[in-house]
């Protein structure tokens, strides 16, 4: 569908990867089931729900407490935990 490609390129929206201190999100894997929004106790996520982009966005990443409930309920692999090594750095 050429018109979809046209909108995507014109808005310059590509696969979004974002993260909090505890979890990371890959929008290209998101199936827009909204389960993570329902379980997150800190309301970290919001919906991106337009015709060509249906996925969550991390809106309040600083509020994430690392409970892991979103990762547990996401069946698409869009959400995963950030593993930190002993020095405090990230193991991606």
Contact status, residue 26 vs residue 71, Cβ threshold 8 Å: no
* Two structure tokens written together for 21: 């201190």
Which range touches ligand SF4 (CB under 6 A), out of 4-12, 16-24, 82-90? 16-24
Binding mask 41-80 for ligand SF4 (x = CB under 6 A): xx-x----------xx-------xxxxxxx--xx-x-xx-
First to last CA, the chain: 35
Nearer to ligand SF4, 5 or 75 (CB): 75
Alpha-carbon span 32 to 72, nearest angstrom: 15
Nearer to ligand SF4, 6 or 72 (CB): 72
In the list 18, 19, 24, 34, the residue contacting ligand SF4 (rule: CB under 6 A) is 34
Element (H, E) at 11: helix 2-11
């Amino acid at each position: 569908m050429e018109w979809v490609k046209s909108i995507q390129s014109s808005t310059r929206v590509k696969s979004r990867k974002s993260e909090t201190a505890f979890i990371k999100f890959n929008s290209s894997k998101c199936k827009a089931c909204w389960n993570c929004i329902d379980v997150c106790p800190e309301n970290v996520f919001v919906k991106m729900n337009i015709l060509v982009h249906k996925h969550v966005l991390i809106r309040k990443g600083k509020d994430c407490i690392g409970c892991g409930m979103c990762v547990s309920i996401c069946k698409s692999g869009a959400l995963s935990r950030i593993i930190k090594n002993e020095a405090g750095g990230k193991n991606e």
